[in-house]
Structure 1
Amino acid sequence: MESQKTALILIGYQNDYFSPDGILYKVIEESSKVTNVVSNTVYLLKCLESSSVLIITTPIFFTPNYEELIEPVGILKTIKESNAFQMGTEGSEAITELRPFEQRIMEVPGKRGFNAFINTNLDQILKQRGITDIVIAGAVTSICIDSTGRAAHEKGYHVKILSDCTSARTVFEQDFYCGTIFPLYADVVTHMELLERLQLLVSA
């Protein structure tokens, strides 16, 4: 892997998922704690901060009346009914742990569903930067991570999914996707294995 051709895509690192008072915190709490997702991600960002790796966040936002969602089902229905990820609310903001890296992270707006490539210019940005390898971290493993990973693979990118920087609804679901689903189209690695490949390990 070459740092200048690699992009880290951060998905869902927002208070409504990762903050203890977040509306949907309970959805991924167990999985996040078991693998120390937030602390692993922070360490990864620390190691990547001075590198040439492109770091992108693709937050999900909705207007107060959720006019973007037409007859939503599943988790999008839950988001609407619980008033999660409303634009301008604390719940929709990035978690505080990412603030030290704000100047290093590029925000790509427009995500309204599972796939970070839909309704955004993410693909255009990646192609303009000559990115060939995409690394995905965040939540939720079985939904946004999987949807974005498959789309990236279909667009011709080499996909890496971080097993210890992604959060599922249950530990079983996390293990199942990392062990059975993701390997069908992506490399599943830990954040330390990724850093070794990029030769970017630094002291904690």
Structure 2
Amino acid sequence: MPTVHARPYDFPFDPAHTAVVMIDMQRDFLEPGGFGAMLGNDVSLLRPIVPACVRLLALARAKGMAVIHTQEAHDAQLADCPPSKRARGALSCGIGDPGPLGRVLVAGEPGAGFVPELLPQPGDVVLRKPGKGAFHATSLDAILHAQGITHLLIGGVTTEVCVQSTMREANDRGYECLLVTDCAASYFPQFHAAVVEMMVAQGGIVGWAAPLAEIERAFA
């Protein structure tokens, strides 16, 4: 089995039982005019991880690992969007409202789509989620069990919100998770660094962390 040199200790995994989970690499979070920008964030801080994410997905497909893309997006009626979520930020243009990239975080709108470099490929799974964690109100657990997945390599945005939430949910369900550190990012670099430390603290209380180069080296 490949073994990744990771923190807090080595992470062995069987590619046949491993999935790459790419969290919310959507235009609404990474492009000007999207929800991330409306919240007052500098979306350019997320763009540098895109090339590494492309490499990770290419490696996963080449090695026969499952690939799952999550997409935070609500139905057109916002029936799956709690009022408390929509009210966050007291924005003049918030979830469900018309914006530069279409209705904000609504399935089927341009902003809810993935950035061009990371469009899902045939054989990938696309999982729409209404919340921050990818297991909440989705079939992700059933999908993973059906494919015999036990290990997850996780990337995406943002590290302290949807990535961390998903990793904690997965840990509670018994999955072994590795955060690919240079395939995840935050609008606040200090938050990204803090989450990495939280994941690997206390002997890996939530999981492991390593850069993409260590995963590539494990296969080499």
TM range (shorter): 0.7 to 0.9
**Which structure is larger by alpha-carbon Rg, 1 or 2?**
2
For the pair 1:19 / 2:31, whether they are aligned, the reply is yes
Indicate the percent of aligned positions where both proteins have the same amino acid.
22
Do the aligned partners of 2:72 and 2:132 also contact (CA within 8 Å) in 1?
no
> How far 1:38 sits from its partner (Å)?
0.5
Aligned residues: 193
Match for 1:189: what amino acid? A
1:133 and 2:133 are equivalent in the alignment:
no
Q: What TM-score comes out, normalization by structure 2 length?
A: 0.79
Pair 1:103-2:117 in alignment: no
Give secondary structure in 2 for the equivalent of 1:59: strand
User: What is the deviation of 1:154?
Assistant: 1.0
Partner of 1:135, secondary structure, is: strand
Alignment TM-score, normalising by the size of structure 1: 0.85
**What does residue 91 of structure 1 align with?**
111
CA distance in 2, matches of 1:96, 1:56: 16
Q: CA RMSD in A?
A: 2.1
Partner of 2:134: 116
Asked whether 1:181 is paired with 2:195, we answer: no
**Cα separation, 1, equivalents of 2:125 and 2:143:** 10
Q: State how far apart, in whole Å, the 2-side matches of 1:63 and 1:108 are.
A: 13
Q: Which amino acid aligns with 1:119?
A: A
Structure in which a larger fraction of residues adopt helix: 1
Which residues of structure 2 form unaligned runs of 5+?
A: 1-12, 98-102
| Larger proportion of strand | 2
Counterparts in 2 of 1:174 and 1:50: CA distance versus 1, 3 Å: same
Aligned positions of 1:58-77 closer than 5 A? 58-73=70-85, 77=88
| Inter-partner Cα distance in structure 2 for 1:103 and 1:80 | 29
- Cα separation, partners in 2 of 1:18 and 1:141, compared to 1, 3 Å: same
**Contact 1:76–1:113 (8 Å) recurs in 2:** no
Tell me: CA distance 1:53–1:46, structure 2 relative to 1, closer, same or farther (3 Å): same
